Every structure is written in C-alpha cells, then in structure tokens.
Amino acid sequence: MTDIHDVRGLAVLGLGRSGRPATLLARRRLPEARVWAIDEGAVAGEVRAELEAAGATVLAGPDVSGAGGAVLPAAAELLVASPGVTPASPVLQEARRRGLPVWSEVEFAARFLPNWLIAITGTNGKTTTTALAGRIVADAGLPVAVGGNIGHALANLPDAVPAEAVVVAELSSFQLENIEAFRPDVAVLLNLTEDHLDRHGGYAGYVAAKLRVFENQRRGDLALLNADDPGTLVAAIPGGGRRAWFATGDGVEGQVAGVSGGRLWVEAGGRRHDLCAAGELSLKGEHNLQNSLAAAAATAAAGVAPASIARTLRTFPAVEHRLQVAGVVGGVTYVNDSKATNVDATLKALTAYSGQVFLILGGLSKGSAFDGLAVATEGLVKQAVLIGRAAPEFERAYAARAAASPGSAVPFVTLPGLAAAVTWCAERARPGDVVLLSPACASFDQYRSYEERGEHFLRLVSELQARTDGA
C-alpha cells in the first residue's frame, strides 16, 4: 500500500472541479514533492496562474497529447485522476503501462481527512440522501461538511473543516473505481441498477466499482444496505464492516431503520426510536422513503439524536433538479427532474407523479436499452415527449411497443429540444396534468451538465408563467 508521505513526484490528471483542489492540496501537504498538474484539454488562464503560483508545473493541451504522444513525467510516482478522466486517456494508459499507482481524488483527499466519514453511493438517490444526511447533522448543531460528487470536492476539505466535523460524501462509481485504502466509517449503498455501462464495460464492472466503497471497512465500521432493492440484495458485499439494513417494511434480520404501522423508526443506542409518520416526510415518493431511512440510519450511527433526525425529515426541502416543482401554470404542474439520468431514476420519479403525465425523455444515452421503460410507463404516462441524441432509440422502443400492444402503448412525439418540448406540452396539457422532465439520459449532447439542463427548464417554465400572467 502506498504511503503518501513517501511520494516525491505526483501528477494530477484533469484540472476541473476535483483536479484543481487536489493539486493545491498536494502542494500544501507534500511540500517536498514535485507536483505536475496535467490536462489533456485547454486550461483557463486563471487556473494555470493559480496552480503555478502554488508551485505546480502545469502541462496542458498540445503539451500533453501532441504528436509526441502522452506526457507523463518520468519522475512521477503516483497519478491522481479526476473522475471525468476516461479509461481511454493516453496519460492514464501510460501510468498503467508503467505500473504506477492510480488514485481517484477521493482516495488522495481522504489521506488527509481524520474526520468521521459517511460515504453514500448507489445508482439513484445519492444527491438527495447526501444532502439530507448533511442537513440532519447540521440541524442537530454538529459540525458537518458535505462534499464528493456534490458540494465541495473532498480535496477542498483538509485544512478547511475541523477534525471533529462529520464529512458526508456522495460518491459515484467514477470516484470509487480508483481507490486503494479509502475507508468510510459508514458506507451506504442505496440501490444498484444499470448505469454508466459505457464507462465500465457493462453492468458487472459498474457494480464492482460501486462495491469498492465497502472493501476496506473493518470491524466497528457500518455497511448500510437497502433490503428493498433487488440489486443490493444479490450483491456480494466486500470488507469487514458490520452489515445492517434499512427497509420500507419491518422484520429484516439486521435491520436498523424501517417502517412499522406507517411510522418510520431508527435504531440508536441498542433500541428502536419512533421518528414520524411516513406521510409527514417532506420528500415524497417511495424512493424518497428509502432515502430518508438511509439518511436516518447513517446519521444515527454518527450520534445524532432520533428526535433531531425526525425534525429534519419533516422539513427538508427537495434537492434542486430532483423532483423539484418548477411552477404551476394554468393548473399544470411542471416538475424538474433533470438529475434523472438513467432509466431507474425516471421510473422512481413516476412513483411520485403518475397518471396524467407528459414525460420529457432524452439526451445522451449511457448504453441502456429503453424497451423496458416503454412498457413500464404504460398507465403512468399520458404522452412521451422525446428530445436529444437518444430520441431515435426511444422512438424505436415506443414504436415497437405500439406495434405489440396498440391498446396500451404510450403515444410519443419527437421534438428538436427542450424549449420545443415545453411549448408543445403547454399547448396540450390540461389542469391537473403534470409536465415532468425526467430524461433517463445524460445531458452532454446539448448541455454541459444536468444542472444546466434543469436550469434551462426552470427558465422556460418561468417564461411560460410570465406569458400566462400577462395574457
């Protein structure tokens, strides 16, 4: 196992949200080591100036991937790769060829974080559960820092948060695939369904990356699992952490959070504590019931009092871009679920909104088939509205379903983009209907992020409201 303090030459690859703070952290905490900051694309002038002022050597663009091939300095002993760096990266491949350790930014940052750490992963619900757990700790009056895949990159936290703070981290498969010794006190797996198949070479590779969150846990650590999720139930959980379960029912062996008689409970101090009625939860939908139980169990393990947990569960607001009500225009509810970037996330959204739904689908496919979605939306969706690069794939799935079951298939229409989709839905939706942006796809065909896509949807609804109010 690599001792970070023995490293005398370190390269950071990818200088975005994770790589920039990782480079600065390396310069602060490893003053004797030489640090190279590498990006195979362009680097903004202010970023270059900041990193060079800190003492890093910046290599970018043609300096890295020109005709001479990938540049990885000969003295580099370790490569820290940002999550956006793909396996096809020439620099990453060169590091593998030379047998260098390759760490994620999460692995690197954790070497400098003595804090109690709650790590939350899964296919869907990570952002909501992480934000909810962070709020529970904060509302209890305890120091907390939320980071990872949301908020701050973990490399921003050393030297910025006190050692007694609880760190709550959302972690993606991209961040977990290159860990070595990363060990959370509480590791939470919310669910496992198909996602990022293009990155991991298939479902097995994706699951293997997710399960790495548990592999370094020891006795005394907690591995918190969802007993309602079929993917989690069959997964071979590695590591030595204590297995514990949350479920929307009761009676599961090893269960530490659940629902009995319509009321949520959590185990703390060796006994059950009543929290609140399921109907009192501020977050709606079956998936958010699971997310609430996971956050309750994780924060109870961190020492938060059950009564404080219950207060936050009743008041926590929806996370941006995840079942966020954008507005009600002419009796039609517009819902921003831009963070639903895979099929399972969209199906979970339909547990909160179903029936008279105009469902906006599409974007950049991650490699999953959409035939199952075409079937599953029957009876839940009034109209499928298809946009983006994946629209032809959705068309084939819905057309095949219409041919096989013309009486129950969901009608569909293909439009050029989100603005056209919102306009088309607004012209046809009636009071009581829901226009739901839950794309089941990534955003990168038309937007820089799911957040940008969601913000565009919010603006479109706001403009629609202004036109309606002025009519």
Residues designated catalytic:
126, 149, 196
Going by C-alpha positions, the residue among 148, 118, 116, 141 that lies closest to residue 312 is 141
Q: Which DSSP letter does residue 364 get?
A: B
Residue 361 in tokens: 């689908």
Going by C-alpha positions, the residue among 203, 186, 185 that lies closest to residue 194 is 203
Which amino acid, one-letter code, is at 180? E
Within 13 Å and on the Cβ side, how many CA atoms surround 219? 0
**The tokens 């009608």 sit on which residue?**
411
Three-state DSSP state, 262: coil
Can you tell me the distance from the alpha carbon of 340 to that of 353, in angstroms, rounded to the nearest whole number? 14
Can you tell me the distance from the alpha carbon of 174 to that of 186, in angstroms, rounded to the nearest whole number? 19
DSSP letters along 52-85, please?
HHTTPEEEETHHHHSTT-----TT--EEEE-TT-
CB atoms within 10 A of CB 106: 29
CB atoms within 10 A of CB 296: 31
Extended beta strands in 208-299, E state: 222-226, 242-246, 255-260, 263-268, 271-277
DSSP letters along 35-50, please?
EEEEESS---HHHHHH
Can you tell me the distance from the alpha carbon of 346 to that of 341, in angstroms, rounded to the nearest whole number? 8
Which residues are CB-neighbours of 296 under 8 A, at least 6 positions away? 136, 246, 257, 264, 266, 275, 306, 309, 313
Question: Dihedral of CA 294/297/299/305: which sign?
Answer: positive
| 286 neighbors 300 (Cβ within 8 angstroms) | no
Strands of 78-81's sheet, edge to edge? 57-60, 34-39, 9-13, 78-81, 102-104
Can you tell me the distance from the alpha carbon of 243 to that of 187, in angstroms, rounded to the nearest whole number? 10
Residues shown for the chain: 471
- 190 exposure class (CB count in 10 Å sphere: 0-12, 13-18, 19+): buried
